[in-house]
Structure 1
Amino acid sequence: MIRTLFRGLSQLAITAGAVMLLYVAYEIWITDLFSDQAQDQVSEELREEWSTPAPEPEPDFGEAFAFLHIPRFGADWERAIVEGTDPDELEDGPGHYVGSAMPGELGNFAMAGHRVGRGSPFIALDVLQPGDPVVVETVDTWHVYRVTATRVVDPSESSVVAPTPGGPMNGEATGAVLTMTTCHPKFSTRERLVVHATLEGSVAKADSPDGPAALEEV
């Protein structure tokens, strides 16, 4: 009877392990596939929208409105940024914290993105170094930010997306900054990895159709 019990427990453990492996594979690879397809779609829709004479100025929830370029991640790396940070929005790509500043504005242009799975847009966020360029492309302007700080915080630390990072949520903005947040460490939601950057300058696409020199750095 004991032998039968051990055999049953062993089979149960094997089954549980197989289920866990399937779940991990789904979270890492299958969700990446779905999110990559969604990212391609919202990117294409945004480029098409920009080709019209009068694109909508205010994005709806889940709508792409800008492109994020991080040269440190690769010369051709870009992701469409969607409005909102709910799970549905983050399935499609990096999401803009509703109510935070828009690209190039005074205040904190804040984004969230998955680190592992669902496209993994911020999987390499920890490799960014002070001075690295982060370029945000809008319909008519390139906004160049420079990384100033990277830190790890508790998920409850909402002040990282305040108008002035570290200040009160209803405080006044003291500069034009960009913030990216993601889970930390990889495969965990225990903490948040946060990268801050400061606006270096903006250039009109009419004056630089191929983008600023910062896109060629790193």
Structure 2
Amino acid sequence: MSVRLIVRTFSELCITIGALIVLFVVYVLFWTGVKAAGATEGQIDDLQRQWAQGTVSAPAPSASPSSGSSPASPSPPSSPGPKPPAPAAYRDGKPFAMLYIPRFGKGWEWPVLENTEVKTLQKGLGHYRGTARPGATGNFAVAGHRRTYGDPFKDFPKLRPGDPVLLTDGTTWFTYRIDKKPYRTVPSDVGVIDPVPRKSGFDGPGRYLTLTTCDPEWGSSHRLIVWAHLDATQPVTDGRPAAFHS
């Protein structure tokens, strides 16, 4: 084989590899975002239909953490009646809530779907199966991509204590407040989504929210975490909470 043929073959191979790299970069940076935009809009449409038809899950008990009123006098015991039915379980891979983080911009809104599987996170944010429901005692834990598939948590490091995180299930607005700057840990540190998350600073049961994403920005060797506590609730019929503008 002549040197010229070897050089030509090597050059063509380099060109082919370069073209494949360019196509891969275009897929990661552009096409996954296009796919995510279409999928996310579909999930939001599904939620809007459910809420319009009244097919939403039962809301969690309301909390009034900012209330300063004294406890009501105990009422006389009543005869036990039938227990109310438990709220229907969330359907795997299906949306059940919308999440808003004003820190990320006026138009930032993402559906929350049940489970954190790969195909679910390509359509929105994922609720860690088995963690609390919105507004309920425990830890409502959510995962999202830092990059690719719409980059929902691209600006995660910008989150600061006091920032609001708003959530609605179609009947109630839940306003959470972030307690600390993002915390960096490893993927095996599953205690960050415990009912009382480890290393969060929370010292007992409460109504918490945890957000998780990958770190570094284009890798997944670590995780960034923020924890928040429930600050307020209000019916959706009262309009959007004031925290949208804070």
Q: CA RMSD in A?
A: 1.8
How many Å separate the matches in 2 of 1:54 and 1:62? 17
1:156 aligns with 2:156: no
Count of residues in correspondence between the two structures: 211
2:197 maps to 165
Deviates more, 1:12-21 or 1:98-107: 12-21
Aligned-pair distance for 1:87? Answer: 0.8
| Equivalent pair of 2:56/2:169 in contact (CA under 8 Å) | no
Aligned-pair distance for 1:2? Answer: 4.8
TM-score (normalizing by structure 1): 0.90
Aligned-pair distance for 1:112? Answer: 0.7
Q: Find 2:94's aligned residue among 63, 69, 73.
A: 63
1:189 maps to 220
Change in 2 beyond 3 A, CA 1:28/1:173: farther
- What secondary structure sits across from 1:19 in the alignment? helix
1:75 maps to 106
1:42 maps to 43
Query: Which whole-Å deviations, capped at 9, do the CAs of 1:99-149 have from their partners, x for residues lacking one?
Result: 001111111100111111112211111111111100011121111111112
Aligned-pair distance for 1:62? Answer: 1.1
Matches within 5 A, 1:129-140: 129-140=160-171
| Equivalent pair of 1:184/1:192 in contact (CA under 8 Å) | yes
- What secondary structure sits across from 2:179 in the alignment? strand
Matches within 5 A, 1:96-115: 96-115=127-146
2:68 maps to none
- What secondary structure sits across from 2:93 in the alignment? coil
- What secondary structure sits across from 1:51 in the alignment? helix
* AA at the equivalent of 1:37: G
How many Å separate the matches in 2 of 1:28 and 1:99? 32
* Larger Rg, first or second structure (1 or 2): 2
Query: Which whole-Å deviations, capped at 9, do the CAs of 1:132-167 have from their partners, x for residues lacking one?
Result: 100011121111111112111111111111111117
- What secondary structure sits across from 1:58 in the alignment? coil
* AA at the equivalent of 2:244: L
How many Å separate the matches in 2 of 1:2 and 1:178? 64
Gaps of 5+ in 2: 58-87
How many Å separate the matches in 2 of 1:189 and 1:3? 43
Identity of aligned residues (%): 37
1:216 maps to 245
1:142 aligns with 2:173: yes
* AA at the equivalent of 2:114: E
